[in-house]
């Protein structure tokens, strides 16, 4: 056997040993992580997820709530008991509705945002929209919140130019409830794995904000990377325990892009209505975490410098257990928090216009 052949066999053997070592290490880490999670982290697991988001696929926004539907949703605790059992009713425009009657002589109050705005897991009376309607009876309240949405959905909706025909008054207020997770949704990273068919905005070379279709069509390779990583994480005990995502950390530029999207949403709103567009830093923002506090400051500075009215309701610790639907099952805000938030909003924006 020639020396070249022996070298080739040696290299192949070393490669096989390396593969075996890597696979063995991964297996040991996964087994150890599984054992730790079962003993100390019962919230981590891979049981099939319940279908709590009932949506229609639509090309302009990725997905939306079905129109004119009564959507009955039940979510269970890990032990099988009921976490919540609710019905969401939507109107002809796919908005969650409380059966309000609208007066064209009254100004509007339009709520934009995600499941927190929509009222995930809550009966009608406990939603932010219902609480505001009770405190501001002189306003027509509209709920455009949809679970999983980010700020880009609000901008895309306003750019579509359909909102003026969907409300009965051309004057009023719009409020976007901003949560820390909305940065991931604005950039479409691996933490927001459901959002890749949604609007994709980026800054071009001259710092102009432009829509480039969806994340799937506008940046297919990066989206494929994020999607594959999210799939891997969904089946890895270790990655789930360490709660890692791609990118590993959100940057100032990510926060700036999110703020820029909201800045443009405000411009679109003011071009179509007489009134003001507010950005609310929801109490979900927890200032005790340095990274979250820093991102909040970056976004606040950007918005304020752009003239966007900001209402900072961030807190030292984020939501407490008694402000959530069920701390062990669903962390969405409960009716108590929405009542407190509605009281503050009614005080801070209720006199406009």
pLDDT at 33: 58
pLDDT at 54: 86
Report DSSP letters for 118-138, one per residue. Answer: HTTT--GGGSHHHHHHHH-TT
Task: Kindly state the average pLDDT of the residues 321-346.
Answer: 90
Report DSSP letters for 124-192, one per residue. Answer: GGGSHHHHHHHH-TTSEEEE---TT--HHHHHHHHHHT-HHHHSS-SEEEEEEEE-THHHHHHHT-GGG
Model confidence pLDDT, tens digit, residues 142-173: 999 999 999 999 999 999 999 999 999 999 99
Model confidence pLDDT, tens digit, residues 177-236: 999 999 999 999 999 999 999 999 999 888 899 999 999 999 999 999 999 999 988 888
Q: Which of 6-15, 51-60, 95-104, 295-304 has the lowest mean pLDDT?
A: 6-15
**Nearest one of 284, 38, 271 to 179, comparing CA atoms:** 284
Model confidence pLDDT, tens digit, residues 111-146: 999 999 999 999 999 999 999 999 999 999 999 999
**Nearest one of 101, 94, 72, 100 to 84, comparing CA atoms:** 72
Q: Is-contact 176 112, C-beta < 8 A?
A: yes
**Nearest one of 342, 328, 326 to 86, comparing CA atoms:** 326
Which of the four pLDDT bands, split at 50, 70 and 90, describes residue 238?
confident
Q: Does 312 have pLDDT greater than 70?
A: yes
pLDDT at 326: 81
Which of the four pLDDT bands, split at 50, 70 and 90, describes residue 353?
very low
Tokens, residue 19: 């593969």
How many CB atoms sit inside 10 A of residue 260's CB? 23
Q: Does 336 have pLDDT greater than 50?
A: yes
Q: Residue 20: helix, strand or coil by DSSP?
A: helix
**Partner residues linked to 324 by β-bridges:** 333
Q: Is-contact 185 214, C-beta < 8 A?
A: no
């Amino acid at each position: 056997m020639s020396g070249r052949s022996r070298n080739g066999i040696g290299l192949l053997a070393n490669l096989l040993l390396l593969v075996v070592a890597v696979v063995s290490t991964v297996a040991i880490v996964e087994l150890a992580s599984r054992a730790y999670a079962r003993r100390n982290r019962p919230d981590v697991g891979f049981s099939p997820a319940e279908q709590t988001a009932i949506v229609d696929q639509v090309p302009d926004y990725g997905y939306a709530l079905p129109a004119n539907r009564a959507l009955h949703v039940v979510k269970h605790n890990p032990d099988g008991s009921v976490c919540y059992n609710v019905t969401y009713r939507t109107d002809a425009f796919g908005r969650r509705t409380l059966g309000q009657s609208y007066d064209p002589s009254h100004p509007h109050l339009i709520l934009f945002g995600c499941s927190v705005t929509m009222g995930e897991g809550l009966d009608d009376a406990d939603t932010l929209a219902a609480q505001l309607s009770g405190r501001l009876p002189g306003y027509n309240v509209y709920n455009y919140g949809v679970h999983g949405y980010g700020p880009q959905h609000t901008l895309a909706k306003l750019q579509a130019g359909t909102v003026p025909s969907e409300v009965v008054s051309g004057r009023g207020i719009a409020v976007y409830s901003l949560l820390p997770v909305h940065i991931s949704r604005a950039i479409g990273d691996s933490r927001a794995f459901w959002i890749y068919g949604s609007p994709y905005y980026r800054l071009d070379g001259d710092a102009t904000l432009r829509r480039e279709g969806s994340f799937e069509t506008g940046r297919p390779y990066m989206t494929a990377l994020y999607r594959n990583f999210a799939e891997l994480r969904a089946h890895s005990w270790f990655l789930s325990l360490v709660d890692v995502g791609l990118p590993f950390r959100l940057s100032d530029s990510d926060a700036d892009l999110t703020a820029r999207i909201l800045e443009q949403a405000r411009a679109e709103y003011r071009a179509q209505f007489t009134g003001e567009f507010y950005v609310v830093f929801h109490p979900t923002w927890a200032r005790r975490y340095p990274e979250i506090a820093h991102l909040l400051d970056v976004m606040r500075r950007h918005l304020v410098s752009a003239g966007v009215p900001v209402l900072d309701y961030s807190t030292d610790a984020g939501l407490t257990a008694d402000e959530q639907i069920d701390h062990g099952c669903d962390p969405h805000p409960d009716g108590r928090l929405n009542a407190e938030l509605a009281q503050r909003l009614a005080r801070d924006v209720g006199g406009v216009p």
